[in-house]
């Protein structure tokens, strides 16, 4: 064995050892994120699982922690989701269809596209400030569930648009050509062939957007969703609270019993969210599997 070869072998051993060390470091980093999630879930379950019961779900909040429940918050969340979806879905999908299927390639389209990407990065509390000025005050909707939903719709709109655009882009151009070639008009091509083909992808995006809206707190604090609500909304102009607001309220109180309530509320919220996320993941996997055929 020559000296040079020996040197190479020694260095190779070192290089290989470093490579293994680095791989371990990467694995460690990856497990850190997962461990944090696991810790969080364990911590919250430990603190709150004892309080989760039908009574908890079906009671109004109370000054006595052991009698308090999330009925008002749960109904408020359902109201807000319904209204947010009814604004954000048509406008978001419409905007995506415009950008992918109609828009000419000019400066205005580029401005709109860049703007949507920027809006996706605006802090949610800024949307809250907008909602306060625009919907609560200028449009006199007061601190209603409608004002909250409109604010939330603007907040999730970029998510719906970007996800829908991706889904539309995934529809092969041959489908459009085939439809045009039998004399379909543009809207017929879009509404009868392109949108149905993009539907699973769009649906995934909508679910993810709504799960973002369900968990948001800051904008609703801004527009003045209530912290203590002993009633469920009966119309879009009623005052309201939502699950994250209720959790925030309970967490910021010093008594440990309320903290337990907060953890229980979180468990309910996370179950709702995980169900939505799982649905989105399953839908996407199905969609990808079918697209690969």
* Residues between 115 and 174 with contacts to another protein, criterion CB under 8 A: 115-119, 121-130, 132-134, 137, 154, 157-158, 161, 172, 174
72, 85, 99, 163: residue in contact with another protein (rule CB under 8 A): 99
Taking phi first (over 0 means left), then psi (-120 to 50 degrees means alpha), and beta for anything else, what does residue 155 get? alpha
Which residues have a Cβ under 8 Å from the Cβ of 264 and sit 6 or more positions away? Answer: 48, 49, 50, 51, 52, 56
Q: Could you say whether residue 19 binds another protein (CB under 8 A)?
A: yes
Cβ 63 to another protein, closest distance in Å? 18
Q: How many residues does the chain have?
A: 293
Cβ 204 to another protein, closest distance in Å? 12
* 140-to-59, 136, 143 alpha-carbon distances in Å: 31, 5, 9
Beta-ladder partners of 239 = 144
Closer CB to another protein, 139 or 235, in the complex? 139
x/- map, 231-270, another protein, by CB under 8 A = -------------x--xx--xx------x--xx--x--xx
| Binding residues with another protein: total (CB under 8 A) | 109
x/- map, 172-211, another protein, by CB under 8 A = x-xxxxxxxxxxxxxxx---xx--xx----------x--x
1, 2, 5, 33: residue in contact with another protein (rule CB under 8 A): 33
Q: Could you say whether residue 90 binds another protein (CB under 8 A)?
A: yes
45, 59, 277, 279: residue in contact with another protein (rule CB under 8 A): 277
Closer CB to another protein, 11 or 53, in the complex? 11
Closer CB to another protein, 30 or 67, in the complex? 30
Encoded tokens for 88: 């954000």
Own/partner pairs for 149-152, CB < 8 Å, 24+ apart?
A: 149/79, 149/80, 149/83, 149/84, 149/87, 149/236, 150/83, 150/87, 151/127, 151/219, 151/220, 151/223, 152/80, 152/84, 152/88, 152/213, 152/216, 152/219, 152/220
Cβ 247 to another protein, closest distance in Å? 5
Cβ 62 to another protein, closest distance in Å? 20
Q: Locate the DSSP E strands across 184-247.
A: none
Whole-angstrom distance, CA of residue 56 vs CA of residue 62: 11
Q: Could you say whether residue 32 binds another protein (CB under 8 A)?
A: yes
Closer CB to another protein, 79 or 127, in the complex? 127
Q: Is 144 helix (H, G, I), strand (E, B) or coil?
A: strand
Under rule CB under 8 A, which residues in 67-86 are in contact with another protein?
Answer: none
Q: What's the angle, vertex CA 207, arms to CA 77 and CA 245, rounded to 5?
A: 25
Q: Could you say whether residue 6 binds another protein (CB under 8 A)?
A: no
Closer CB to another protein, 72 or 247, in the complex? 247
């Amino acid at each position: 064995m020559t000296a040079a070869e020996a040197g190479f072998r020694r260095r190779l051993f070192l290089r290989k050892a470093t490579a293994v060390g680095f791989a371990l470091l990467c694995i460690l980093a990856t497990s850190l994120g997962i461990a944090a999630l696991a810790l969080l879930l364990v911590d919250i379950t430990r603190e709150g699982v004892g309080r989760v019961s039908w009574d908890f779900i079906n009671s109004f909040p109370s000054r006595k922690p052991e009698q308090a429940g999330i009925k008002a918050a749960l109904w408020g969340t359902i109201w807000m989701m319904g209204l947010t979806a009814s604004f954000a879905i048509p406008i978001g999908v419409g905007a995506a269809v415009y950008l992918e299927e109609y828009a000419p390639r000019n400066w205005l389209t580029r401005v709109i596209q860049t703007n949507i990407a920027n809006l996706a990065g605006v802090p949610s509390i800024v949307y809250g400030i907008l909602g306060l000025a625009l919907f609560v005050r200028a449009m006199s909707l007061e601190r209603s569930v409608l004002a909250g939903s409109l604010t939330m719709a603007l907040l999730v709109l970029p998510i719906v648009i970007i996800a829908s655009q991706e889904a539309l882009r995934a529809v092969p151009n041959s489908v459009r050509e085939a439809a045009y070639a039998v004399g379909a008009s543009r809207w017929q091509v879009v509404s009868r062939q392109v949108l149905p083909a993009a539907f699973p992808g769009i649906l995934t995006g909508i679910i993810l957007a709504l799960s973002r809206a369900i968990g948001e707190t800051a904008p609703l604090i801004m527009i003045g969703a209530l912290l203590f609500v002993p009633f469920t909304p009966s119309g879009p102009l009623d005052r309201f609270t939502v699950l994250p607001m209720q959790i925030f309220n309970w967490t910021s109180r010093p008594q440990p019993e309320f903290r337990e309530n907060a953890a229980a509320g979180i468990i309910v919220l996370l179950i709702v969210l995980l169900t939505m996320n799982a649905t989105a993941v399953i839908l996407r996997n199905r969609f990808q599997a079918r697209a690969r055929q």
